[in-house]
Amino acid sequence: VPTICVPDADTAAALADLKSIDPELRILVWDSVGPMPDGIDQVEFYVPPYVGRVTSAEDLGRMPALKVLQVLTAGVERWLPMVGEGVIICNGRGIHGAGTAELALAGILNHLRELPRFAAAQQRAEWDSEFTAGLRGRRVLILGAGDIGTHLAAALEVFGAKVTLVARRPRDGIRGMDELSELLPTSQIVTIALPNTPETSGLVDAKFLAAMPDGALLVNVARGPLVVTEALLVELSAQRLYAFLDVFETEPLPSDHPLWRAPNVVMTPHIGGGSVGWERVATELVVDQVRHFLRGEPLANVVSDGY
């Protein structure tokens, strides 16, 4: 009996039609908090919740029949060490990319159009009509040419920014990481949209930041460990660089962390991918993937090389 386990009743309801493929299909619901449902030891296809308690390695150990782990996040670094070679991990690529690119765009525009300055002036009932910078002609480097990177590039180009995308495999219109030392000094905005892997962790270190020009903006909407926070704090404290950060080495960011009081930084609490409506896209992905699974077709979003 093919057994699927999903995190909520709505997703389970969306899968009900797939009984036309296999009438024996069994759908379990487990939110990863309450007691595990009967039949968990038969689960072949498991979807953990996007938010809330993280399913542990011990929990997964109670699913010896597991064949597919379909997570709803784009990043899979936490899951990789938890499953054996025989389990296929599929990520949530496509669920959060547009929303996260949108947040990066908001951070970039907030910086360039100086919205905090106008909000402060508004509080004082002051007509502070000094013009600001904008995107036209601005050089933006985006590290990562995947779901986030390509959405962000398209949005920035609408307003005339000069965008350069960088990825692991250089290809038409996409540069390689070996060109970073040339690209960084001429980029006024650098956005990190890379997965957290052994190759990318700590990439944005003191040397990387030193190569960025004075007054440049670093945007990190990917994962905290890609940026060496200590090194970034040095540049922020000197007020040489600016940053927009949605992700942090430690989350939640501890209340005594120096970033809270650092100058030149705007932060959001890892909300990039979680804008209203993400659930619908997630459910569509899960239904498609379970359909492929039941029909023995190739799955989408299969993780290889750590992302």
Ligand X SMILES: NC(=O)c1ccc[n+]([C@@H]2O[C@H](COP(=O)([O-])OP(=O)(O)OC[C@H]3O[C@@H](n4cnc5c(N)ncnc54)[C@H](OP(=O)(O)O)[C@@H]3O)[C@@H](O)[C@H]2O)c1
Which residues is 302 bridged to in the sheet? 90
Respond yes or no: is residue 251 known to be catalytic: yes
- The active-site residue, picked from 230, 251, 284, 297, is 251
Burial zone of 242 (CB within 10 Å; 0-12 exposed, 13-18 middle, 19+ buried): buried
Closest residue to ligand X, judged by C-beta, is 146
Question: According to CB under 6 A, which one of 199, 249, 279, 288 is a site residue for ligand X?
Answer: 199
**147 lies in the binding site for ligand X (CB under 6 A):** yes
For residue 222, state whether it binds ligand X (rule: CB under 6 A): yes
Binding status of residue 194 toward ligand X by CB under 6 A = yes
Q: Please give the single-letter amino acid code of residue 287.
A: V
Give me the sign of the Cα torsion angle 76, 78, 82, 85.
positive
Under rule CB under 6 A, residue 100 binds ligand X: yes
Q: Considering only 22-30, 32-40, 133-141, 221-229, which stretch makes contact with ligand X by CB under 6 A?
A: 221-229
144 binds ligand X (CB under 6 A): yes
Q: Which of 72, 167, 236, 285 binds ligand X (CB under 6 A)?
A: 167
Residues 44-83 that bind ligand X (CB under 6 A): 74-75
Q: Is the peptide bond before 81 cis (omega within 30 degrees of 0)?
A: no
Q: What minimum distance in Å lies between the beta carbon of 121 and ligand X?
A: 30
Residue 177 binds to ligand X (criterion: CB under 6 A): yes
Asked if 238 and 216 touch (Cβ cutoff 8 Å), the reply is no
What is the spatial distance between Cα 9 and Cα 39, in angstroms, rounded to a whole number?
Answer: 17
Rule CB under 6 A: say whether 97 interacts with ligand X.
yes
Q: Which C-beta is closer to ligand X: that of 27 or that of 95?
A: 95
CA–CA distance, 72 with 49 (Å, rounded to integer): 7
Binding ligand X (rule: CB under 6 A), the pick from 2, 48, 146, 224 is 146
Nearest one of 56, 95, 59 to 74, comparing CA atoms? 95
Asked if residue 247 binds ligand X (CB under 6 A), the reply is yes
Q: Is the dihedral of CA 118, 121, 127, 128 positive or negative?
A: negative
- Alpha-carbon radius of gyration of the chain: 22
Closest CB to ligand X among residues 221, 294? 221
Say if CB 241 and CB 262 are below 8 A apart: no
Rounded Cα–Cα distance for residues 267 and 278 (Å): 21
Whole-Å CA distances, 9 to 4, 15, 31, 274, 283: 12, 10, 9, 19, 11
Measured from the CB atom, the residue of 3 and 220 that comes closer to ligand X is 220
Largest alpha-carbon pair distance within the chain? 69
**Quick check: 96 binds ligand X (CB under 6 A)?**
yes
26 forms beta bridges with 3
Catalytic hit among 113, 139, 168, 270: 270
For ligand X, give the closer residue by CB, 7 or 195. 195
Binding of residue 175 to ligand X (CB under 6 A): no
Stretch that binds ligand X, among 121-129, 147-155, 209-217, 287-295 (CB under 6 A): 147-155
| Token pair listed for 140 | 């933006």
Q: Which is nearer to ligand X, 83 or 247 (CB)?
A: 247
Residues that bind ligand X in the complex, under the rule CB under 6 A: 74-75, 93, 96-97, 100, 144-149, 167-169, 177, 193-197, 199-200, 221-223, 246-247, 270, 272-273, 307
Residues with active-site annotation? 223, 251, 270
